[in-house]
Chains A and B, each alone.
Chain A
């Protein structure tokens, strides 16, 4: 069973700063089938990145994804006030078919 870990658990930054979030997998993620989501309190998750590096429809280009195998990164180039939220990574393909990481909270410093 594949397990995803995310680091750090909390990232305290100021608007305008760069955010780098990590997602690690206990085994290689099939064909880089890794996605990233943003979730704000009381709302459903929003897909940001799919297939490790492709931006979903309507996602600003300050969000970028990279990585392969067992190590993946979500980068927010310059934090906007609306970017402070919890971010989850999710893999597709290994058992269980979909697995989510525990999340990284990006809060205002």
Chain B
């Protein structure tokens, strides 16, 4: 059974750096073809993909946010960490991590999401 769970601060101040951790179980990020991505959703709005890391440490980023994002993995801890610098109120959103297989187009397992509010 695959599960993922996001953790991190619920409130950050403008200009601060956000660090979110995705802790997962039921799969290994050392298995060929497996990836974990981050997707966010501002309140009442659509989904936006942020970043993805694969089993082989291949990392991909949204071009519009690439300069602010870093994704890393700790295979021994079954964790993926996303950092986003220079947070702004427009970054207020629910942040999800999700599992995908490289041979399929979708994210098949999602965490419950964590709401991050950016406010002074």
Binding site for B on A (CB under 8 A): 1, 32-37, 43-47, 49-52, 54, 56-57, 88, 90-93, 95-103
A44 near B112 with CB under 8 A, answer yes
Binding site for A on B (CB under 8 A): 37, 39, 46-49, 52, 60, 62-64, 96, 98, 104-108, 110-113
A100 near B108 with CB under 8 A, answer no
Number of A-B contacts (CB under 8 A): 69
A88 near B105 with CB under 8 A, answer no
- The residue on A at minimum CB distance from B106 is A35
In the bound complex, how far is the Cα of B63 from the Cα of A95, in angstroms?
8
A96 near B46 with CB under 8 A, answer no
B47 near A45 with CB under 8 A, answer yes
B108 near A47 with CB under 8 A, answer yes
Not counting A50-B106, A52-B105, a sample of 5 additional A-B residue pairs whose C-beta atoms are within 8 angstroms of each other reads: A32-B105, A33-B105, A37-B106, A97-B52, A100-B46
